[in-house]
Structure 1
């Protein structure tokens, strides 16, 4: 299966369990992979036969910056849902959300969550 990857998409948002996270916000970094058949685009060089990278980026940005979630697990799930809605050709998605400023009891390190979703046959038009 072919894939399109977007990496290191960085956004400032207000997700987290703690009140300070909701008030102050922090940076979140998203990696997104979408699996679909890119054969037609690879043979034709026709733009309409691939996914628009800008549209994918805007879909991720809308979820990250216009909603508030306590858990980055839910944030990743919401991103996957929005991307599936964007284009019915997408068969599988991996979303990784990095939270570099997560409150950890040590001086260095960061947290990330990765989810993988496959479109169910019932969802395909």
Structure 2
């Protein structure tokens, strides 16, 4: 998933924004939950995408680590049937002297039902 967001330590990052890419891995008991080829028995990818889009386009943080941690908490809270969620967030416009494509953070969490 790709979004234009306004995260970063520097004022120009918050003013101009930059692209974030987000990967999400969701684990839940598919073999138990999905018995009838029915979307209501599973987690809707469209709903998860909407949750992520709404969150990253309406919140601003200095650190992508904070984006990742807060978004992880939101997904786990909003989708209690998910057993585990892993997020990878890549930021491409990074004000660091050096040659690289992006910086990336990965966080994972579990629902304790």
Same fold at TM > 0.5 = yes
Q: Structure 2: which 5+ runs fail to align?
A: none
Q: Aligned with 1:11: secondary structure?
A: strand
- What is the 5 A alignment of 1:1-125? 9-39=1-31, 40-41=33-34, 43-120=35-112, 124=113
Q: 8 Å contact 1:33–1:94 — kept in the other structure? A: yes
Aligned residues: 112
Residue 107 of structure 1: CA displacement? 3.5
Gaps of 5+ in 1: 1-8
Which structure: greater strand fraction? 1
Q: CA deviation at 1:104?
A: 2.0
TM-score (norm 1): 0.84
> Runs (4+) of structure 1 moved beyond 2 Å?
none
Higher relative contact order (CA 8 A, sep 6+): 2
